[in-house]
Amino acid sequence: MNKIDLKKRLIEECIARQQKTAAELQHEVDETLRLSNEYGAPKDRYDPYRTKLMNQNNLFAQQLKQANTLLVTLQKIPTDKEINIVEFGAIVTTNKQNIFVSVGMGKTELDGKTYYAISPKVPIFDAMRGKKAGDSFTFNGQTFEIIDIF
């Protein structure tokens, strides 16, 4: 498989995972609203059950907003742009791991290989930003050699 196809598949996998997360959060938002509506009006000024439901709903709504933001970010990653340095959208192969600079999603398996989707806001990205294939960088006392970037 060529690098462009691999990148497209990795992005599709991350998008699918993020869509699943967003759908699950939407379900939770809907469920807490349903429970709140079934419960009815607050029983008194300090109704703890209704307050709990509304707090849960607000929490899920915030998480859903974040999940949708990450989804939009993933959808904006160009697949046809040639990347030669470590930057947003790059897949970086090192001697220790494969890193996908996109959004912080953690580990993703694809074709028997593990890729770590990281945000450009994390410290390891700062350590490797702007590097090219053949360069090395040190993070947490470990030296990483960059084998390939695409």
Q: Are strands 113-118 and 142-149 parallel, antiparallel or unpaired?
A: unpaired
Please report the pLDDT score of residue 41 as a whole number. Answer: 84
* Cα gap 150→122, rounded to integer Å: 20
Q: pLDDT-derived band of residue 46, with 50, 70 and 90 as boundaries?
A: confident
Least confident segment among 1-10, 113-122, 130-139? 1-10
Least confident segment among 15-19, 40-44, 90-94, 135-139? 40-44
Cα dihedral across residues 126, 131, 133, 138: positive or negative: negative
pLDDT exceeding 70 applies to what percent of the chain?
A: 100
Helix or strand (DSSP H, E) at 146: strand 142-149
Q: 42 vs 35, 36, 50, 55, 112, CA distance in Å?
A: 13, 9, 6, 14, 53
Give the residue with greater pLDDT, 121 vs 45: 121
pLDDT in tens, 83-118: 999 999 999 999 999 999 999 999 999 999 999 999
- What is the pTM (predicted TM-score) of this model? 0.88
pLDDT exceeding 90 applies to what percent of the chain?
A: 85
Instruction: With a cut of 80, say whether residue 1 has pLDDT above it.
Output: no
Domain residue ranges of the chain, discontinuous segments joined by +: 3-75, 91-149
With a CB cutoff of 8 Å and minimum separation 6, the contacts of 12 are none
DSSP for residue 127: H
Classify the phi-psi angles of 111: left when phi > 0, otherwise alpha if psi is within -120 to 50, otherwise beta: left
Amino acid code (one letter) for 92 = V
The residue among 65, 55, 86, 59 whose CA lies nearest residue 18 is 65
Please report the pLDDT score of residue 120 as a whole number. Answer: 97
